[in-house]
Amino acid sequence: MAARARRRVIVGPVGTPLADLGLSSSTGDADLEALVREVLGHHPAADAEAIRRAHRYADDKHRDQMRHSGEPYITHPLGVARIAAGLGLDPETIQAALLHDVVEDTGASREDIEAAFGPQVAALVDGVTKLTRIHFESQEERQAENYRKLIISMSSDIRVLLVKLCDRLHNMRTLSYMRKS
């Protein structure tokens, strides 16, 4: 397998290259470029490089994680972002979709996301993370809390809910890889 050349990529407003942060990309570029094309189809003035940076950041942070299918974990955030892009959601929401599990599943913080991608993307990722964190004992408690969280998220930024719904949809589309128990 041929070694991939490292690209110098600028991250966020501080301009720190990913390589300087010890980050690299481990997945193929075809799916990413299909995502970028889809976003640009809806938003021609979108910053395609910002979407690529979000993908590379998530790819690196999730590099040691695998899906139940045996695929690299990055296939999930990329799938979530493709669903969001198909809905015509804005580029910041696409970045948040790519990054939606980074705070919850890796050592990255909201502050890290904000420094690299700005406050709007960080707020979206933070909102999705908060929607995911609360767990309850009974089905009734879970249902009531899910409705409460949906209403709260809709009142602050509907895009949080849309990313979470794209996340759930992608998980449901890949249920065949889960154990039956």
Active site residues: 104-105
What distance in Å separates the CA atoms of residue 150 and residue 99, rounded to the nearest whole number? 20
What distance in Å separates the CA atoms of residue 141 and residue 166, rounded to the nearest whole number? 23
51, 94 contact by CB (below 8 A) = yes
Look-up of token digits 């089905």: 139
129, 104 contact by CB (below 8 A) = yes
Look-up of token digits 């948040």: 96
166, 84 contact by CB (below 8 A) = yes
What distance in Å separates the CA atoms of residue 181 and residue 150, rounded to the nearest whole number? 28
- Retrieve residue 114's tokens: 């904000």
What distance in Å separates the CA atoms of residue 142 and residue 134, rounded to the nearest whole number? 9
Q: What's the residue count for the chain?
A: 181
